[in-house]
Every structure is written in C-alpha cells, then in structure tokens.
Structure 1
Amino acid sequence: MKPRFLITGSSGGGKSTLIARPAQRGARVVREPGLRVSQGEGPKPWEDRAEFVLAQDR
C-alpha cells in the first residue's frame, strides 16, 4: 500500500501551496472539500448532503 499523508492547517496556512508540487509530479491529490465547494465543483452539501459526502472520495 502506498503511503498517504493528511495535511491540515488554518485558512491561509499554505496547504494548497504545499501540495501543488507533488500534484505537478503526478501524485494523486484530493483537494480540500471546502475549497472545491467554494470554487463551484461538484455537489453542494446544502443541496444534497449524501451526494456531497460520496463525492469526497472520488
């Protein structure tokens, strides 16, 4: 099994910047759900909570 890493931190702490380089090199990166929602991607939790939860794993 490949190692997995969880990056946490406050808003504006540089999490997206930190994961940008591995993503550019082909690593699979799952963007933070709040960021995905704020940028208009995928289902919204206030519209369909179940679909929103399922979409986080895709």
Structure 2
Amino acid sequence: MSLQTHLAELERKHRQLEEAIAQAVASPSSSDLGVAELKRKKLLLKDEIERVRLTMPAPTLH
C-alpha cells in the first residue's frame, strides 16, 4: 500500500470516529467512558496521520 493510500485510509477512519463521537455525545444513553475511548482512538489516529505525513516526500514542482 502506498503512503498516499495509507494516509487516505487513516483520514477516512478519523472522520468516522468524529461522526461516532458526535453521535455518542448526542445520545443520552452513551457513557462518558465510551466517549473518552473514542476520543483516545481518534487522537491516536491523528498522531499516526501526522507520522505518515512526515515520512512522505515533499511534492515537487514540475
């Protein structure tokens, strides 16, 4: 898998977690612990996205 494909997949998962967090916060039956776990996963994904971006070569101007 190319770095660009991997980055796109990580960003997709990050957006899904954002949606899941928004739904959980809006739901009165969700637990604070569950929301905290989703936020932790989102933060880990954000860190991974940043690591991948740092390893990608800089775009060249042709």
Q: Same fold (TM over 0.5)?
A: no
TM-score (norm 2): 0.31
- Structure (1 or 2) with the greater helix fraction: 2
- Structure ID, larger Rg: 2
TM-score (norm 1): 0.33
Higher relative contact order (CA 8 A, sep 6+): 2
